[in-house]
A and B are shown apart, each in its own frame.
Chain A
Amino acid sequence: MDLEKFKVHGGVLIYGAMVSIALATLAIIIGLTVFKKWGYLWREWLTTVDHKRIGVMYILAALLMLFRGGIDALMMRLQTAAPEMKFLDAQHYNEVFTTHGLIMILFMAMPFIIGLMNVIVPLQIGARDVAFPRLNAVSFWLFFFGAMLLNISFVIGGSPDAGWSAYFPLASIEFSPTVGNNYYSLALQISGIGTMLTGVNFIVTILKMRAPGMKLMRMPMFTWSVLITNVIIVFAFPVLTIALALMMFDRLFGSQFFTMANGGMDMLWANLFWVWGHPEVYIVILPAFGIYSDIISTFSKKNLYGYTSMVASMVIISLLSFLVWAHHFYTMGQGVMVNSFFSITTMAIAVPTGVKIFNWLFTLRKGRITFTTPMLYTLAFIPIFTIGGVTGVMLAMASADYQYHNTMFLVAHFHYVLIPGAVFAVIAGFHYWFPKVFGFRLNERLGKHAFWWIIISFNVAFFPLFILGLMGMTRRMYTYSAETGFGPLNMVSFAGALGLAIGFVILVYNIYWSTRYMPRDTTGDPWDARTLEWATNSPIPAYNFAVVPTVTDRDAFWVSKQENIPLFKDQIKKIHMPSNTGKPFILGVIFFFFGFFMVFSMWVPAIVSGVGILITLCAMSFDRDHGFYIPEKEIIATEKKLRGETV
């Protein structure tokens, strides 16, 4: 076999990455062996079907990817910090910004949000697990191995290099002959299937598994946002699936859907990509709105203002999100009519979004606001995201977009939307729900340090890009000459990127520090919060609620605390639980190999692993396992222990 195609040529960085991946893998293997944790890892994590553990694994993977994508970002900012930098060459720069985009959107923001929804949504609706726990494990492992497949592209064969939007014909075999975009089509496909399954799972969970009395209009706002998000997932992801499949045919089997020859249509790819791609933005932003709503309500000690209009605005946003895709290519020459239509639908989204901003402000009004770390991120979100929002309206104007399109102005805009809109939200949610999952809070002082580093550096890093865009600097340029005058502002931006890196390092250090030194929380409700997840113990027992709660109002837990209405009326009875299974993990592993062999056109092993996938799926379908019961005694003992009583 020709080993040459596996190699990536590229100097110190690539070899550094190879060595660090090899060392990290070795360290993990040795660590697990020395501490005899293989069995623990397999029994408690790799085979788990518990929504909380799956959620934690999603979040861990997302944090890992945050650092991978963050290093990409630092490399890009360093390369453009000054004119004519020689740090990366064009090919590497192209690979780095492509993987930065893919990883941050698909393997950081999405899994972080899916992780939080996994941990929290069943608790918020008073359920014991998601509707299909095994399917949930399948979702996670497909996502995880899809992400790993994309990541190894950096050291085996080369990364995708046509931008995260992979426009054709640039991404065709003719102009991108390395295996990079094969990785794109397969890695995204595998993790995309996982996401689609998550969509189905959570719609069913929220519609069918709510506790008695939890009507739809009594659900916490985060659960509402997750429901709407998953509806978007179910409608949007099939488009990506099809587009990626056609791309794979083009690249591996010589079909001509998007190529230049034989009637292929490059514009079709752009349309399909953005028909998925724009709703995707709302897939990561709507849950963020939900997280913020819950946090604002908790820390201003008030119910959410305008609950009904909050729900309505999310529904409207979800509908509009499917009607705006062409604003990503006003410059394709559709003419005045089409561009005007998409301008107006795009600007229309500002209306429901504005409603949400004002509802949040009026929730704060007359409240009693405490500035905890999660609340700080939430409060920083409002002014920063509003800048992202108003620049979005500016970009929506087709004529003006002819000047913003493809420039740093656009880059600044979507970072002003996605970082406060998604990243701050998941960090806020992470700090907020951390004590629920692990039973202790993160340190507030360190949390606030990280917060100020991140907020200030974010603005230093991204505000200059608005001006650079208006100066005519386009995105994805790996270098520029000194005469352009782009140098100073890019240097400022690089300084901001460094500050962001420091902020994230403090954030992670805080996790380590708090794990060692923070006191245990035995109340289960450290923030004096309002929704059901705080009604159970922290850390959450496997069965979530010893007794299923009965809900009488919105903010069910708050109402029960204020008015002394008991949430848990029934006696403790034995609880039915699903058993762990290793099959989803095995399925993920086989999918990984299938993807890898497909990437390199190694047909025989690809067919063998394809058959393996079918066999595993059959085995899962015919699995006769009816779960097990946790006996009463054990539940009572667990409950006592978690409340800090001696058994």
Chain B
Amino acid sequence: MNKKGPLYALFLSLILLLPGCSSITVLNPKGPAARTISDTIILSILVMLGVLAVVYILYIFVIVKYRAKKSNEGYVPPHEEGNKWLEAIWIAIPIIIVSFLSVVTVKSTSAVENVAADYKNQKPLVIYASSSNWKWHFSYPEEGIETVNYVNIPVHRAVEFRLYSFSSITSFWVPQLAGQKYAMNDMLTTLHLSADTVGSYLGRNSNFSGKGFAHMEFETLVMPQKDYDGWVKDVKETAQPLTEDEFKALLKTDFVGRKTYSSNHLTFSPPPGNHGDHMSHDGMEMDMDNGNMEHKENKKIHPSPAPSSETIFDGKPDTEVQPVDDSTHEGHH
């Protein structure tokens, strides 16, 4: 009756094997993090095709062989309670498959949550990517520049994006370079990525954030280090600085095109995760009365699982912005 199984298998393998099928962006990685995930995905698809094949073969066999037909009119099916050996087999084999995939998951998750192996010895380029309705702001603390709705990074360089949001939860996603991560208003998250091919990659917010969500895209331009240095120098020399007033106006504007500034908003509007001032970073209401400090301390660590004494009770304000960086706690597993 239902013979779609092999069709699906064929369909899936076609998608995977089509050479140069570059429109499947997730399976067309241009950096180590995305490549790790792409390999994981392809491996899991192959394993799952195996599982599907077993189920489909059994399924087609039973419904073809045991269907009611004229020739078996008087057949009385037997009473079967079950068979503990057979049942043990279909408990054991899935457990083995799941265990295997668990190992793959833990390894690959740990790999993409940290700086890629080939880039470990580099000092990462830090970029703060913050979202507001409905734009992306990219602040380069070391270079002291800021862009809106596009980000330039050097090729073959470890880049550490520190993500946060001025409004709803958004998700920072450049599928060809790395998996996504949420940007939230009350805590920093960190995304490591590197690109090993020069080119332009589409990035977008993948987490629904209201009316302008569909248009919340940005370009990630990967360029040689020399070009990157030239661009930074160019921006420093020619672009306008970003004033606090201009930034506030920018936050209030729903959509803007690309913008470039020779200074960044981190100086007057620090990101969350830092004590004291992260509550008022967007210059809105937020009074800071009674009882809030303790809560913010919680926030700083939440939801990092590491039971570390240095985070809960360390009341000293950090001079430098410290992201909640899970990888430092867990990268050794």
A interface with B by C-beta (< 8 Å): 90-91, 94, 161-163, 167, 169-170, 175-176, 260-263, 265-267, 300-303, 305-309, 329, 331-340, 343-344, 347-348, 350-351, 354-355, 357-359, 361-371, 376, 379-380, 382-383, 386-387, 390-391, 393-394, 396-403, 405-407, 455, 459, 463, 467, 469-472, 474-480, 485
Of the candidates B34, B97, B209, B304, the one whose C-beta lies within 8 Å of that of A335 is B304
Across the interface, do A167 and B169 meet the contact criterion of CB distance under 8 Å? yes
Known contacts: A355-B91, A382-B59. The answer to whether A368 contacts B68 by CB under 8 A is: yes
- Are A470 and B25 neighbours in the complex by a CB distance under 8 Å? yes
| Closest A-B pairs by Cβ, 4 of them | A402-B179, A335-B326, A333-B189, A306-B82
Residues on B with C-beta less than 8 A from A354 are 90-91, 94
Across the interface, A485 reaches (CB within 8 A) one of B8, B23, B102, B284, namely B23
Shortest B290–chain A CB gap in Å is: 10
Indicate which residue in B76, B77, B182, B303 contacts A331 across the interface (CB closer than 8 Å): B182
B111 to A261, Cβ gap below 8 A?
no
Q: A169-B185, A300-B66 are known; give 5 further A-B pairs, CB within 8 A.
A: A265-B302, A335-B330, A337-B305, A365-B66, A368-B76
The verdict on A306 contacting B109 (CB below 8 Å), with A336-B333, A472-B202 known, is no
Q: List 25 A-B contacts (CB under 8 A).
A: A90-B214, A170-B169, A176-B210, A306-B87, A331-B181, A343-B106, A348-B98, A350-B97, A354-B90, A363-B80, A364-B62, A383-B2, A391-B48, A399-B36, A399-B40, A399-B111, A399-B112, A400-B40, A403-B41, A405-B206, A406-B171, A406-B208, A459-B4, A472-B204, A478-B214
In the complex, B197 has a CB within 8 A of chain A: no
Binary per-residue interface labels of chain B (94-109) against chain A in the complex, 1 for a CB within 8 Å, 0 otherwise: 1101100110111011
**Nearest CB in chain A: distance from B235 CB, A:** 27
User: Cβ of A163 and Cβ of B208 under 8 Å apart?
Assistant: yes
Contact partner, B175, options A336, A472, A476, Cβ 8 Å: A472
B206: chain A residues at CB < 8 Å are 405-407, 474
Specify which of B208, B211, B299, B302 lies most central, judged by the most chain A CB atoms within 10 Å of its CB: B208
Is chain A's binding surface mostly helix, strand, loop or mixed?
A: helix
**A383-B51 Cα distance, complex, nearest whole Å:** 11
With beta carbons under 8 angstroms apart, the residue of B63, B78, B81, B303 that contacts A332 is B303
Interface residues on B, range: 35 or more
Smallest Cβ distance from A301 to chain B, in angstroms? 5
Contact B80 A305 (CB under 8 A): yes
Within the assembled complex, what's the spacing in Å between the Cα atoms of A78 and B241? 45
- Docked-complex contact B66 and A402, CB < 8 angstroms: no
Instruction: Report A378 CB to chain B, min CB distance, Å.
Output: 11
B1, CB-defined interface residue at 8 Å: yes
Bound Cα distance A363, B169 (Å): 48
Contacting B27 at CB < 8 Å: which of A359, A379, A399, A470? A470
Report chain A residues within 8 Å CB of B105.
340, 343-344, 347, 396-400
- Report which of B58, B98, B287, B303 forms a contact with A338, defined as CB distance below 8 A: B303
Question: Which residues in A have their C-beta under 8 angstroms from that of B17?
Answer: none
Which residues of chain B are near A306, meaning CB under 8 Å? 81-83, 87
Query: Roughly how many angstroms separate A365 CA and B75 CA in the complex, as a whole number?
Result: 13
Number of A-B contacts (CB under 8 A): 318
Given A266-B185, A390-B48, A467-B15; A371-B1 close (CB under 8 Å): yes
Whether A262 and B286, one on each chain, are in contact in the complex, defined by CB atoms closer than 8 angstroms, is yes
Q: Does B316 have its Cβ within 8 Å of any Cβ on chain A?
A: no
Among B112, B182, B204, B213, point to the contact of A476 (Cβ < 8 A): B213
Q: Are B181 and A369 in contact, with the CB atoms below 8 A?
A: no
CA distance in complex: A398, B295 (Å): 29
Q: A90-B212, A306-B87, A406-B171 known; A364 and B106 CB under 8 Å?
A: no
* B102 adjacent to A347 (CB under 8 Å): yes
B117 within 8 A of A: no
Choose one: B5, B108, B184, B331; the contact of A397 (CB below 8 Å): B108
The docked-state distance in angstroms from the alpha carbon of A303 to that of B82 is 10
Taking a contact as CB atoms under 8 Å apart, the answer to whether B82 and A337 are in contact is no
Cβ of B220 within 8 Å of any chain A Cβ, yes or no, is no
B45, CB-defined interface residue at 8 Å: yes
Contact A383–B208 (Cβ < 8 Å): no
Inter-subunit contact A368/B72 (CB<8 Å): yes
